[in-house]
A and B are shown apart, each in its own frame.
Chain A
Amino acid sequence: MSAMSAGAPRPLPSSGQKSIQDICHPLSAEESALNPGSAADKDLSLPNGTPVDTSSPASSSSLLNRLQLDDDLDGETRDLFVTVDDPKKHVSTMETYITYRVCTKTTRTEFDLPEYSVRRRYQDFDWLRNKLEESQPTHLIPPLPEKFVMKGVVDRFSEEFVETRRKALDKFLKRVADHPVLSFNEHFNAFLSAKDLNKRQGLALLTKMGESVKYVTGGYKLRARPVEFAAMGDYLDMFTQKLGTIDRIAQRIIKEQSEFLMELREYGPVYSSWSSFEEDLHDPLEGVSGCVSNCSSALEELTEDMSEDFLPVLREYVLYIESMKNVLKKRDQVQAEYETKLEAVVFREDKKTPMPVDVEKCQDRVECFNADLKADWDRWENNKRQDFRQLLTGMADKNIQYYEKCLAAWESLIPLLQDKQEAKGETN
């Protein structure tokens, strides 16, 4: 990769110092009250944080409802389309940053308009993800690309880096938009539609949720994970391991290819310098030189594709697994809390008295969590299968294209090599 991007990275279309007024960053705008009194006032009795009093289809929060939604999703009846594109560089005296255009098309009634287009920067995505994690603790939140990838090594404003990040952000929003619960999250709604994103609006919620998170991670020891969740954990561990191996293999291949490329870059010109002192062989040798150079370009493209398209997907999945593991851990905590409370009650009370309400609530919470997690797991499995099918067929395609380009180069060389001989054969 380093060999590949030896040239100066192409600059991004920049708004420059002057036009900063034209491209007004959403955060720089004045605060405007959005969804007044929304999150903070919500009844958070439900562990998955789904607002009870909204008209969202997920509001009933019943398992049945959720399953139906899943069916809908499988039936491709999507009604929310989000894309991230058109990165722009903003330069001000204070800082330099990139914003991305987030375009939304929807038929959902939760949105006032069928179409939105807003500009967001990385920290806005980060804000959204935190909000989602806080407000939907029982759900698997898709990962964001890492904030700093190889700090100092990668130019954060290079076109390659920005493009890789744009793809990851696009993937993140699409994953949220396709989620039957997360896509109805009000913060998501605000992120997509609000001209100016008021991040402070979530502060009250943050403190409240902060408590809840602390409470959850309060150190109850779970006796035993139920088999199916234990299996998930085992699977994730194995899968992480395999992904790590694949990542290392891919990186090694890219390294070998880059070094092969360097040799080819030296190899081709040798034919050229040979041709300079040959008469009859001048054209054939020059031809081979050109052909090797064509193959080098094809190889460079392949290597770039692999490092820009293949590796980021693997990395996303590593992060995705981390998110999944987090959710599993939270589930364990909720169950542990329930078990502790139950144990205390069983120990204390005789069997005639009914179960205290808070213990029953705890049991509900566990069941809800389990149902959410299972639904998210199935969805994740499905996504994973599709993503890897696409990723690996893509890899095969890229390699096929590489060989096809080389094949075309060598095939077109053959007539040139034979040319003189035929001409000679005629004159003889």
Chain B
Amino acid sequence: MADSGSEDIAVIGNTDLTPSESENNLKNTMVETGTSLLKKMEISVAEAEKRTGKNAVNMQETYTVYLIETRPVDAASEGTNPVPDSLWRRYSEFELLRNYLLVTYPFLVVPPLPEKRAEFVWHKLSADNMDPDFVERRRVGLENFLLRVASHPVLSSDKIFYSFLTEENGWKETVFETGFQAKADSRLKALNATFRVKNPDKRFADMKHYGDELQSVISQLLRVRARAADRLYGVYKVHGNYGRVFSEWSAIEKEMGDGLQSAGHHMDAYAASVDDILEEEEHYADQLKEYLFYADALRAVCRKHELTQYELEMAALDLTSKKQQREELATGTIRTFSLKGMTSKLFGQETPEQREAKLNMLETQIEEGEELVKERNAECDEFVKSAWVDIERFKEQKDHDLREALISYAIMQISMCKKGIQVWNNAKECFSKM
């Protein structure tokens, strides 16, 4: 089921399904195929390791590799619990996988990778790529990426993705054999060129606008949060100084000494507690960051839609002009000033044979053009349909994920408050004994 589903999906842009059929198809894949890979297979990025090796230009380089473990779900549920299959991948290979997915499925909101370099971090956090904390957070992020793809109704059935998980050697070659690179290059050129669509689809225009807004608000949120984290860190850590001064002060006091001394310990504990708090908060920031990058993926789909629409419009324009030429040739009237008109005036009328040949050529061109417009139209329709289904799916996922993220953020804040109350209660007890 999964295999045949993937075949269908991979060529979805070219199949001639009726709208209702294709919708059914997508809905089905969303429910069944979508979860099938995760139903069949447990996926995890178990660990990260630092390696040193020679790169393409024979230069020594240090890089991190991530261990991907997969295990059949059936085996686990049967209690045999076999040793998981595992293989190592570099971040660049993840990037290659994602690029392949982006090109192959232009109508899908492809899950983003975790950031290549740490951004929006508060100053105590290292931005070094080799920093263990950063590597660990990236490991979690990469695992999340794999799970996102594996649970995606369409992407989960991709064969290249499957072999990314299961075939250690030769995977890269397989990817390049798909020829996606060539497609990617021409696509990229087209996307970078400025073009203007005459009749933009309002839904996609709105979605693009939403993507812009989402990206800007999340990046603002992350920026302010990082600054607030810096300050919070300061507030807690400065309290740690009380620990030292209370301890020194207790040395010159008689009755007050013990209370001061132990209160000082609680202040030390208070100062230390901020490390855990901010580490937890970093997880929340990572959740937001995923959606910051998701916003970009969403915008990419909208831009690709524009491109498809643009290609359709260009084909239609070309067809119209061909038709006009034919009309001019047939009626002999020249409606617009043209080079042809000039030449005919200067050098006299063409022979009927020449005209006939030209008309015939135009006729074939128009036929081809009509075919192309039809094709582009279908392509565009197909794109809109599949893209919209995925965008709807994405919206639902986003609402759910962010709500969950907010809930866990609130729970985190609650535990921080409780910790604060506890530490200050302990300190208060010491103070009151003074």
Contacts and interface: CB of A to CB of B under 8 A. Distances in A.
A388 interface: yes
A396 B424 contact: yes
Nearest to B421: A403
A407 interface: yes
Interface string B223-258: 011011001101100110110010011001001100
A389 B434 contact: yes
Interface string A246-267: 1001001100110110011011
B432 A263 contact: no
Contacts of A392: 263, 427, 431, 434
Contacts of B410: 288, 291, 410, 413-414, 417
Interface in B388-426: 399-400, 402-403, 406-407, 409-411, 413-414, 417-418, 420-421, 424-425
Interface residues of B, number: 49
A225 to B, nearest CB: 18
A61 to B, nearest CB: 29
A271 B221 contact: yes
B210 A277 contact: yes
B217 A270 contact: yes
Contacts of B220: 270
Nearest to B220: A270
A263 B235 contact: no
B235 A264 contact: no
B183 interface: no
A404 interface: yes
A38 interface: no
B62 to A, nearest CB: 36
A253 B224 CA distance: 20
Interface string A125-141: 00000000000000000
Interface string A108-128: 000000000000000000000
A417 B403 CA distance: 7
Contacts of B228: 260, 263-264, 267
A-B pairs with the 6 shortest C-beta distances? A396-B428, A260-B231, A407-B417, A263-B228, A403-B420, A256-B234
B420 A399 contact: yes
Contacts of B400: 421
Contacts of A406: 413, 417
Contacts of B248: 242
A273 B213 CA distance: 10
Interface of A: 235, 238-239, 242, 245-246, 249, 252-253, 256-257, 259-260, 263-264, 266-267, 270-271, 273-274, 277-278, 280-281, 284-285, 288, 291, 385, 388-389, 392-393, 395-397, 399-400, 402-404, 406-407, 410-411, 413-414, 417-418, 420-421
B224 A263 contact: yes
21 contacts: A245-B241, A249-B241, A249-B242, A257-B231, A260-B231, A270-B224, A274-B218, A277-B217, A278-B399, A281-B399, A284-B406, A388-B256, A389-B432, A396-B428, A400-B425, A406-B413, A407-B414, A414-B410, A417-B410, A418-B407, A421-B403
A291 B413 CA distance: 11
Given A280-B403, A403-B421, 13 more contacts: A252-B238, A256-B238, A257-B231, A267-B224, A267-B225, A273-B217, A277-B210, A393-B432, A400-B425, A404-B417, A407-B417, A407-B418, A413-B410
Contacts of B420: 399-400, 402-403
A14 B234 CA distance: 41
B403 A281 contact: yes
A163 B21 CA distance: 77
A4 to B, nearest CB: 15
Q: Chain B interface mostly helix, strand, loop or mixed? A: helix
Contacts of A263: 224, 227-228, 231
Contacts of B235: 253, 256-257, 260
A414 B408 CA distance: 9
Interface string B311-351: 00000000000000000000000000000000000000000
A404 B428 CA distance: 15
A403 B399 CA distance: 30
Contacts of A260: 228, 231-232, 234-235
A235 B245 CA distance: 15
Interface in B156-171: none
B424 A399 contact: yes
Contacts of A399: 420, 424
Contacts of B402: 281, 284
Contacts of B224: 263, 266-267, 270
A277 to B, nearest CB: 5
Contacts of B239: 249, 253
Given A263-B227, A270-B220, A392-B431, A411 B414 contact: yes
B198 to A, nearest CB: 27
Contacts of A397: 424, 428
Contacts of A249: 238-239, 241-242, 245
Q: Which of B210, B218, B400, B413 is most buried by chain A, counting CB atoms within 10 A of its CB?
A: B413
A414 B231 contact: no
Given A392-B434, A396-B425, A417-B406, A385 B411 contact: no
Contact of B213 (A257, A277, A389, A400): A277
B221 A270 contact: yes
Contacts of B434: 385, 388-389, 392
